[in-house]
């Protein structure tokens, strides 16, 4: 079985969990003899191609004087609007940037006929233009590559998946890792919502990363329930033996690791930290990540007068993530709306007890994690304090949590995805 897969990022060049999930899934599919052609807008040459063949969309030549490409391009120009888009940006930050920025875009029609599109592969003011061009590139790849199924990850890749389906007639699977409702808390960007809905409608099957996400697809996008399957994410096992890291600090460490955005609930982590520090000043809190709420969190930490016990590390990836977990005594994911959430699995893999919000998809598969409502900072603070001070409790969660997460393998998730492929191929 051969799959033409479209995604916006692939390790080591990632901005969050989407790229990590794509990497884990492709590794799992390779163990089930599924060959993957993975298309990214911009490849850097250092991607791990042990389980996939990476296709760099920036290297694909397109001549829009060809009637097929030209006709398809005309049909997707609704995407070419000036917008400054960053994943998971709050609506307030989105409007601030759009009001402030000078939109000096070059008209796409002036340059679109060149032979290659130069993708940045990033997120920003030209994202929708890149999504459009990416879909045009998909038309050529779908005509020239041999494959059985099309698989696209999240909204940036759905137009490409639709284009590939229309050109090839092959079945299309849309994978939902997050929706616009998760990213914005209900203040949706209508353009992105429309792309998400069209992708799910065109798809032969939809894969949601949790029942929470499946319910959103059904209730908010009116997708046929029989069309939506749930495949929970997994975690990549650590290849090396457990490593012990030296703290060089007397305090115990509580970590938040993720995008510092509305969806991830960083403000609840800060407020809970202040409550814990009133009871025990010998604790250090770490917020690892970047995002549009970073400056606001720094200011709030200063207002609460807890700066001496609080560190901001910036965005971490690769071995730095493993090291951060290795130094942590407790990991907290207070997400407001989390379709799944891979980071708790990575923390548990490192023997770290975790606290997760009940409003997360990963809560559906974890038994040995403390679960609280994201807004209940008193319960969150009590859970943090208890895990820091009662060794029997933290030891139990760490031991059984690691055993539990070792069974959440990408290979098992990939087997379910392959079953979805088999179902659409029988239709």
Closest of 170, 6, 163 to residue 76, by C-alpha: 163
How many CB atoms neighbour CB 405 within 10 A? 24
Partners of 332 in the beta sheet?
A: 355
Per-residue pLDDT, 109: 42
pLDDT tens, residue by residue, 151-183: 999 999 999 999 999 999 999 999 999 999 988
Domains of the chain: 2-234+410-426 (3.40.50.2000), 252-405 (3.40.50.2000)
Q: What angle do CA 49, 142, 174 make, to 5 degrees?
A: 75
> Does 208 have pLDDT greater than 60?
yes
Residue 180 CB burial class (10 angstroms; 0-12, 13-18, ≥19): buried
- Give the separation between CA 249 and CA 395, rounded to whole angstroms: 21
Mean pLDDT of 380-389: 98
Per-residue pLDDT, 368: 95
Per-residue pLDDT, 66: 63
Q: Which of 122-131, 132-141, 211-220, 362-371 has the lowest mean pLDDT?
A: 122-131
- By percentage, how much of the chain surpasses pLDDT 70? 83
Q: Which tokens go with 14?
A: 């990632």
Per-residue pLDDT, 71: 60
Per-residue pLDDT, 73: 56
**CB half-sphere exposure, 302, CA atoms < 13 A:** 6
How many CB atoms neighbour CB 37 within 10 A? 17
> Does 296 have pLDDT greater than 70?
yes
> Does 72 have pLDDT greater than 60?
no
Q: Which of 86-100, 228-242, 260-274, 363-377 has the lowest mean pLDDT?
A: 86-100
pLDDT band for position 114 (cuts 50, 70, 90): very low
Per-residue pLDDT, 233: 95
């Amino acid at each position: 079985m051969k799959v033409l897969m479209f995604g916006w990022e692939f390790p080591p060049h990632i901005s969050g969990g989407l790229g990590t999930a794509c990497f884990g899934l492709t590794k799992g599919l390779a163990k089930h003899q599924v060959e993957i052609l993975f298309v990214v807008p911009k490849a850097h040459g250092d991607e791990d191609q042990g389980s996939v063949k990476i296709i760099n969309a920036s290297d694909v030549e397109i001549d829009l004087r060809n009637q097929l490409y030209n006709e398809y391009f005309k049909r997707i120009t609704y995407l070419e609007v000036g917008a400054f888009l960053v994943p998971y940006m709050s609506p307030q930050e989105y409007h601030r940037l759009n009001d402030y920025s000078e939109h000096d875009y070059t008209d796409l029609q002036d340059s679109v006929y060149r032979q290659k599109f130069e993708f940045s592969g990033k997120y920003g003011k030209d994202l929708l233009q890149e999504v459009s061009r990416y879909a045009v590139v998909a038309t050529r790849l779908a005509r020239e590559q041999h494959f059985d199924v099309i698989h696209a990850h999240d909204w940036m890749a759905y137009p490409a998946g639709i284009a590939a389906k229309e050109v090839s007639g092959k079945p299309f699977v849309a994978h939902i890792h997050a929706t616009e409702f998760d990213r914005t808390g209900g203040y949706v960007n209508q353009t992105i919502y429309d792309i998400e809905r069209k992708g799910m409608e065109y798809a032969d099957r939809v894969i949601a990363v949790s029942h929470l996400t499946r319910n959103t697809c059904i209730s908010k996008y009116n997708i046929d329930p029989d069309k939506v399957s749930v495949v929970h994410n997994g975690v990549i096992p650590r290849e090396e033996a457990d490593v012990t890291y030296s703290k060089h600090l007397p305090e115990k460490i509580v970590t938040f690791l993720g995008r510092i955005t509305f969806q991830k609930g960083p403000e609840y982590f800060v407020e809970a930290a202040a409550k814990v520090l009133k009871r025990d000043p010998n604790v250090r809190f770490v917020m690892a990540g970047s995002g549009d709420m970073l400056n606001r969190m720094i200011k709030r930490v200063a207002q609460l007068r807890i700066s001496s016990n609080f560190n901001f590390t910036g965005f971490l990836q690769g071995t730095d993530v493993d090291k951060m977990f290795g130094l942590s005594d407790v990991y907290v994911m207070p997400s407001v709306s989390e379709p799944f959430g891979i980071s708790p699995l990575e923390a548990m893999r490192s023997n770290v007890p975790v606290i997760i919000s009940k409003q997360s998809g990963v809560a559906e598969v974890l038994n040995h994690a403390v679960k609280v409502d994201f807004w209940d900072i008193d319960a969150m603070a009590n859970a943090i304090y208890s895990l820091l001070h009662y060794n029997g409790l933290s030891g139990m969660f760490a031991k059984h949590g690691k055993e539990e997460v070792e069974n959440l393998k990408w290979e098992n998730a990939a087997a379910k995805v392959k079953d979805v492929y088999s179902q659409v191929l029988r239709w």
